[in-house]
Structure 1
Amino acid sequence: MIGRGGGRGMQRKDAGEEWPNLVDVVLSWSLKDVMNEGLFKDKVKKIPSTFSHLKSYLEWFTSPLLEELRAEMSSSLESLSTMPSVRISWIEEKKGKYEICVASDSQAAKSCNQPECYAPSVGDIMILSDVKPGHISDITRNGRPYRVAFVTEGGDEDDDSPTSKYVIISSGIIDAANEKCQDGKIKPLFAAYLLNIVTYIRIWRCLDYEVFRRNRGLIQEMVHYPPVPDIRQERTEDAASFDSMDIWTKLSTMDLNNSQNDAVLNCISKIHRNSSSFSLIWGPPGTGKTKTISVLLWLMREMKHGTLACAPTNLAIKQVASRFLRLIKERSFDTSCLGDVLLIGNKQRMCVDGDLKEIYLHDRVRKLLGCFAPMTGWRHLLSSLSDLFQNGYSQYLQYLQDQKEGDKPSFFSYIRKRFTIIYTYLRRCFKELLFHVPKSSILEVNYNNILSILEMLGDFNSMFQRRYIGDEVKEVFMYNNGEPDSRNSSVITLGKARLKCLEQLNTLLSCLKLPLTSSKRVIRDFCTENASIIFCTVSSSSKVITNKKLELLVIDEAAQLKECETLIPLRLRTLKHAVLIGDECQLPATVKSKVCTDALFGRSLFERLSSLGHRKHLLNVQYRMHPSISIFPNTSFYDGKISDAPIVMQNGHQKMYLPGSMFGPYSFVNIGDGTEEFDELGHSRRNLVEVVVIEEILCSLQRGMFSLFTNYLVMSITFQFF
């Protein structure tokens, strides 16, 4: 089923020609190439700290990125037995690509012989083979045919329903689909997952010189650091260049310490300069990085500065977004609209729950889908209610004419039922719009008109439901600011209210400009383009490239990113400033290849700028560790610059559930009988004796805490009894 023809050649272009496609490059590698540790060894050079120009800067990362990708693929191949796989039900060639269908869950579980089977995703690299591989030798033995494939399509990220069909491109020709063996049975075909290269693709695109040559603001500042000294700028660096009393007043209520205040104010003052800039906030463990970031983002929203907040992982960005959302609800005067705040991420990996669903793009699209629908959404509801107020009686007569059989309701019953239905849907629709669409997209005047019409319709509904007007309801819908035939005050009041509502409805119909679409993709793009505070991973920031509002970039845990990864958000042309928050004394980015490690490929932009003397604003008060623990990192890594907050110096901060020094702030336990051994793959070390000891310590703590809780419960019951 899988041909033995050669793979694609690497179509690497010379300077000035089209930038090569990374997928084509990867599919040109044989498995022998992937396992060859020396494939790029001669091309990877140590990355310098300063660069002559942008083009050479980007070129320094090209070969290391390819080598790191090769090393990660090699690692996956070595661990092939642990990688998920799935049986392909059928495969069909379509215009140089292949459409495949994978087995259903039950079929997959049976064919894979494992509980968790492979569900492909766009960006996956997989191995296609006629055997379910348990080792790389199962694929390469005796010239057995295989193909390396890349998933280009499969499932819509806005679609909640699972899919089994995917489109792939292959490293070579896959012979006739559903080929049969001599016994008449269809030859099996398996897909084994290796890794997802979406992030690599996004970085690779950023290494194209043409991407950045027209966007030199922040990039120029980054590449040519340190800049030529500007005496005037140096003199004003520490000056209080930002003198807004409003910001000072808001900041004073945030309970920040002096170092946190200084870091936030410095960032704000730089934003109000005309030149592009980078700010570094140095945040050792427990010094309140997330709190500082959330306050900065809150102030940016108050000042109406578009901001992109990123972090290396889904977990990290969710933590920042959660703290920011909590701050909004605690401090902001108006929390009825969060349409300008957006959290973006893959719904399978991000696992959003709780309050974060209020700002999560996937949930927001689902909420707005009905509101924007052409046949049932906001415009249809406004038109229907306007038409009902304008032509309610003629609609009723037409209804009677169309009603051939059955009871014929009175005009009062008909009109009240129709109004209640439309009003209920309209109120629900506008509630979603006001919360999930930015005010800037609705416009302030329309926003106020919506609030006004909802209040007016609510009053009209109350009067309509509670006051009996019976047959005189016809006069309400025939009333036209003249003298009514009825002297019933309720009729006159309702008639005037109807006209006011009609006028406001028609105003909104002519002035409100919002999408009319049933496309989730269009709604997703609308939300992304109009948000002014966006949270996402650094990799996912490529999805906000069309947003024209974002001028500030904030990256949390910036020291855990490879420098080339930060290029993904820096592609945004509207960015003028960047704030990097991190700590180069903590663990850096993970690098698989030793060649890349030696070339400083894992070095972060934060670390490089810091090494060149870029000013860092140190958060110098830690709120997490007991002083007996913090003294070691403080003296060893931070030159004694970190102070212990009063909260960690109190006696209550040292909890001891069991007696003995082992259960104090820290302890060292010598396991003399333990021996290290490698796991089944020969990669990771383990010490099973240490595992047993740790398990016993945890069980002792569990028993101690249970005993403490029981004693506390008995004391509480005794106290209440007496």
Structure 2
Amino acid sequence: MSYYYDSDDDDVVLVQQGAGTRSARAKDGRYSSWSQSELEKQMFSWSLKDVLNKDLLKKKVKKIPTIFSSLKEYMGSFTVPLIEETRADLCSALEGIKHAPAAEVTRIKLCSDEQLIYSFFAKKADPKDIFQEVYAPKEADTLLLTDRKPRHISDLGRGEKPLVIASVLKAEDAEGNTVVRLSSKHVEQQFGLESSLFAVFLINMTTYNRIWSELDAVVASVRNTDIIRMIVNCNPKVGQECSYSSELPLHLPDRALGGLEDFKLNKSQKVAVLDCVSAMQQRSSSVRLIWGPPGTGKTKTISTLLWAMLVKNHRTLTCAPTNTAVVEVASRVLNLLEDPSAGSGKACFLSDVVLFGNEDRMNVDGNLTKIFLEKRARRLQKCLSPGSGWVHSLSSMIRILEQPLVQYDSYVEQIEREIEEDLAEKKRNKNKNKDNDKKQVKEDVPKVIPIMPSIYYILKVH
């Protein structure tokens, strides 16, 4: 007997099937939506030694050229660097595995032998233990399965054999099942399906998967590639050369943006901001690409650019592939707006900035609650409430200003009425207590019960 995953209605259904139905299930495309990408295949093929080898793809990673002969070449130039970035991220996660969140897997079942899809059940947190933190796998998480929770990277072995990696295909459902694809066919022999395992979180592949799918030249050929053509300044046809320049033209300082000097930008950062602002003033659409390696101040440049857009009254939509990046940019923009010394006192208001997204995943707290859409909506809901909101408060103030004596008399009457009601309530409670005391005293009176004609026993009834 084996198991397969039935994806109808997005519910996890474990169904026993015999050998006669396995081939039929394999042919009907039940798992087509969960087809394995080449990036995941590459990641699953690595051993621990491969992941820790910083020179694994050194000879394959080449400098991205500035001239491309075709759209396919442009897309392909980013493929190997993306694989290397994935390996580096995994390496960093394994080196700090001591602090990685983990979940204890108490049950694991095979769903699809062909695609190595399994369903496992993770141990729940003890509701009585308020300090216990239990990791809950999310979709696209990459997990490491081990027979014990590793405290150091050396606990994973010598590293010659492939790691047992799991990609989360479907997060935990109402019944507690998490659907994953495993990298090894021999998980039963290596760990056993009945033994307890630990699923250790490594990285989330959402961003990598999105970028990988966008780098598919075949799919890209049928999409709107106008932005790419504008960036590389080419028509994506084989044999036709295209050129791209990373140097931006120098613009004269905008008088309305004199406050840029307060942000201490270097020359290239300032030129990037001014060039993007000037592009907004052009009638025709245009694209500006700001590129730079890590640590060159791209986030600082973007946040300053957004401040400049606010000063120029340009509506701007800022997007990023990760929640972390969006939160970081929003935090910097908020700091610029709240800093009185920044921008030479240019008038910018928090009401002009809105941050929105998944509240739980973005982990919005602190000052960011001032501009987060849902938090702002909750505050407005209180302000617009008919019983205690702005209208009620303003109406009360207007009545006080127009008829102060009438409102004062009404206020005094209300206070006196509340005092009388309070005294009446206390009196009722006092009388009630007296009645209870009398009843208790009456019940405590000794009763004389004749036992014999000449002898009486006094019994106290309790």
- Give the TM interval when normalised to the shorter protein: 0.5 to 0.7
Deviation of 1:166 after TM superposition, in Å, equals: 6.4
Check whether the contact 2:142–2:205 (CA below 8 A) recurs between aligned residues. Answer: yes
Instruction: Give the Cα separation in 1 of the matches to 2:291 and 2:73.
Output: 28
1:218 is aligned to: 227
Out of 363, 372, 378, which is 1:360 matched to? 372
The letter for the 2-side match of 1:100 is F
1:68 is aligned to: 85
Query: Mapping of 1:175-186 within 5 angstroms?
Result: none
The letter for the 2-side match of 1:353 is G
Instruction: Give the Cα separation in 2 of the matches to 1:228 and 1:347.
Output: 43
Instruction: Give the Cα separation in 1 of the matches to 2:270 and 2:319.
Output: 19
Instruction: Give the Cα separation in 2 of the matches to 1:94 and 1:19.
Output: 15
Instruction: Give the Cα separation in 2 of the matches to 1:130 and 1:107.
Output: 26
1:58 is aligned to: 75
Deviation of 1:272 after TM superposition, in Å, equals: 2.6
The letter for the 2-side match of 1:129 is T
Instruction: Give the Cα separation in 2 of the matches to 1:118 and 1:86.
Output: 5
* Distance change >3 Å, CA 351–CA 67, structure 1 → 2: same
Deviation of 1:298 after TM superposition, in Å, equals: 1.6
Instruction: Give the Cα separation in 2 of the matches to 1:227 and 1:466.
Output: 82
The alignment partner of 1:149 has SS state of strand
Instruction: Give the Cα separation in 2 of the matches to 1:454 and 1:205.
Output: 55
* Distance change >3 Å, CA 331–CA 467, structure 1 → 2: farther
Out of 144, 166, 175, which is 1:149 matched to? 166
Check whether the contact 2:107–2:122 (CA below 8 A) recurs between aligned residues. Answer: yes
Out of 327, 341, 347, which is 2:354 matched to? 341
The letter for the 1-side match of 2:387 is T
1:202 is aligned to: 210
Out of 302, 306, 317, which is 1:307 matched to? 317
Out of 281, 287, 293, which is 1:272 matched to? 281
1:31 is aligned to: 47
For the pair 1:87 / 2:95, whether they are aligned, the reply is no
2:305 is aligned to: 293
Deviation of 1:21 after TM superposition, in Å, equals: 2.8
- Which structure would you say has the larger Rg? 2
The alignment partner of 1:342 has SS state of coil
1:127 is aligned to: 144
For each residue in 1:606-630, what CA deviation from the matched residue of structure 2 results, as whole angstroms up to 9, or x when unmatched?
Answer: xxxxxxxxxxxxxxxxxxxxxxxxx
Instruction: Give the Cα separation in 2 of the matches to 1:143 and 1:254.
Output: 55
Q: Alpha carbon RMSD of aligned pairs, Å? A: 5.8
Normalising by structure 1, report the TM-score. Answer: 0.37
* Distance change >3 Å, CA 291–CA 88, structure 1 → 2: closer
Instruction: Give the Cα separation in 1 of the matches to 2:258 and 2:159.
Output: 73
Deviation of 1:59 after TM superposition, in Å, equals: 0.8
For each residue in 1:487-533, what CA deviation from the matched residue of structure 2 results, as whole angstroms up to 9, or x when unmatched?
Answer: xxxxxxxxxxxxxxxxxxxxxxxxxxxxxxxxxxxxxxxxxxxxxxx
2:119 is aligned to: 98
Out of 170, 178, 189, which is 1:167 matched to? 178
Aligned identity (percent) is: 24
The alignment partner of 2:332 has SS state of helix
Could you say which structure has the greater relative contact order, defined with CA pairs below 8 angstroms and 6 or more residues apart? 1
Instruction: Give the Cα separation in 2 of the matches to 1:59 and 1:272.
Output: 34
Out of 30, 39, 47, which is 2:64 matched to? 47
Check whether the contact 1:85–1:190 (CA below 8 A) recurs between aligned residues. Answer: yes
The letter for the 2-side match of 1:167 is T
Check whether the contact 1:52–1:224 (CA below 8 A) recurs between aligned residues. Answer: no
* Distance change >3 Å, CA 362–CA 192, structure 1 → 2: farther
Instruction: Give the Cα separation in 1 of the matches to 2:260 and 2:84.
Output: 46
Instruction: Give the Cα separation in 2 of the matches to 1:108 and 1:21.
Output: 40
Check whether the contact 1:100–1:168 (CA below 8 A) recurs between aligned residues. Answer: no
Check whether the contact 2:214–2:220 (CA below 8 A) recurs between aligned residues. Answer: yes
Deviation of 1:360 after TM superposition, in Å, equals: 2.6
1:423 is aligned to: 386
Instruction: Give the Cα separation in 2 of the matches to 1:72 and 1:228.
Output: 32
Instruction: Give the Cα separation in 1 of the matches to 2:259 and 2:43.
Output: 56
For each residue in 1:588-640, what CA deviation from the matched residue of structure 2 results, as whole angstroms up to 9, or x when unmatched?
Answer: xxxxxxxxxxxxxxxxxxxxxxxxxxxxxxxxxxxxxxxxxxxxxxxxxxxxx
For the pair 1:187 / 2:195, whether they are aligned, the reply is yes
Instruction: Give the Cα separation in 1 of the matches to 2:70 and 2:304.
Output: 34
Deviation of 1:56 after TM superposition, in Å, equals: 1.2
Deviation of 1:318 after TM superposition, in Å, equals: 4.5
Instruction: Give the Cα separation in 1 of the matches to 2:84 and 2:243.
Output: 35
Instruction: Give the Cα separation in 2 of the matches to 1:315 and 1:175.
Output: 42
Check whether the contact 1:132–1:192 (CA below 8 A) recurs between aligned residues. Answer: yes
Check whether the contact 1:298–1:327 (CA below 8 A) recurs between aligned residues. Answer: no
Check whether the contact 1:83–1:194 (CA below 8 A) recurs between aligned residues. Answer: yes
Deviation of 1:66 after TM superposition, in Å, equals: 1.9
* Distance change >3 Å, CA 347–CA 150, structure 1 → 2: same
Instruction: Give the Cα separation in 2 of the matches to 1:467 and 1:102.
Output: 66
2:335 is aligned to: 323
Query: Mapping of 1:603-614 within 5 angstroms?
Result: none
For each residue in 1:132-151, what CA deviation from the matched residue of structure 2 results, as whole angstroms up to 9, or x when unmatched?
Answer: 34567766689999742123
* Distance change >3 Å, CA 465–CA 28, structure 1 → 2: farther
Query: Mapping of 1:483-494 within 5 angstroms?
Result: none
Check whether the contact 1:347–1:362 (CA below 8 A) recurs between aligned residues. Answer: no
The alignment partner of 1:424 has SS state of coil
* Distance change >3 Å, CA 322–CA 347, structure 1 → 2: farther
Instruction: Give the Cα separation in 2 of the matches to 1:261 and 1:77.
Output: 39
Uncovered stretches (5+) of structure 1, i.e. residues with no partner: 4-17, 157-162, 181-185, 230-236, 372-376, 379-421, 429-450, 469-722
Instruction: Give the Cα separation in 2 of the matches to 1:155 and 1:188.
Output: 18
